[in-house]
Structures are given as C-alpha cells and as structure tokens.
Amino acid sequence: MEHVEGQQHPIGIYFKIWGLLFVLSACSYLVDYLDFQGYVRWFLILLFMILKAGLIVSVFMHMMWERLALMYAILVPPVLVLIFVGLMAVEGDYTEWTRVIFFGLGEETTPIIHH
C-alpha cells in the first residue's frame, strides 16, 4: 500500500500568524491599559476577538484550504446566531426604554400608606 502524505504548508505562515496573534493580543490588552470605556471599549475587544478567532480558524484549523461550500456550512450559522443575538439586544433595549417612558419606572414614586 502506498503511504499518502497530507498537504504540507510552509512553516513560515504559522510563525507569521503566531506573531500576528501576539500583536492582536497586545492590542486587546492595550484597550484595558489605556482605559477605554463604553461602546468603544466593547467594539475594540470584540473586533480583536473576531480577528484572532478568524486567523485561528482559517490557518490552524486549515479552513483557508477547504472548499467554499464547506466554509459556508461552517461559518454562516455562527454569523447568523450573532446577528440574531444583536437583534435581540436591540429589541431588549427598546422594550426597557418603552417601559421607562410609559410606565415611569425611572421616577420616584410616593409610598402608599394603608390605614
């Protein structure tokens, strides 16, 4: 029987990706060190997280060299889940906002004294 070798990729690409992951990790730590707050902080943290995850999946899990149909089958469902989670977060904020406006949950109420 013949021994079939798997596809080998140059080791240089792995070292470059490790270096890039190190730089992205340093940038994500700088977000806390530079004391970013609010939406900017969370945007940067999520951006660096997605970039690192994409690099890991594409190179170390060999997704870069797979067929396009398999890439879509693996990558589209998590993207759709993230979109739905974002939509639910927006809807939750809207619901909270309407309750505060129409039911006055943010205002101080006078205590009811029962006799």
Indicate whether this model's pTM tops 0.75. no
Query: What pLDDT was estimated at residue 102?
Result: 84
Query: What pLDDT was estimated at residue 110?
Result: 64
Query: What pLDDT was estimated at residue 107?
Result: 56
Task: State the Cα angle at 45 between 44 and 51, rounded to 5°.
Answer: 85
CB 60, CB 18: distance < 8 Å = no
Residues (pLDDT < 70) of the chain are 1-7, 105-111, 115
Question: Which value, to the nearest 10 degrees, does the dihedral of the CA atoms of residues 103, 108, 109, 110 take?
Answer: -170
CB 7, CB 17: distance < 8 Å = no
Query: What pLDDT was estimated at residue 62?
Result: 80
Q: Which residue has the tokens 């904020």?
A: 93
Please report which residue ranges of 1-115 form alpha helices under DSSP H.
11-33, 38-55, 68-103
Query: What pLDDT was estimated at residue 1?
Result: 47
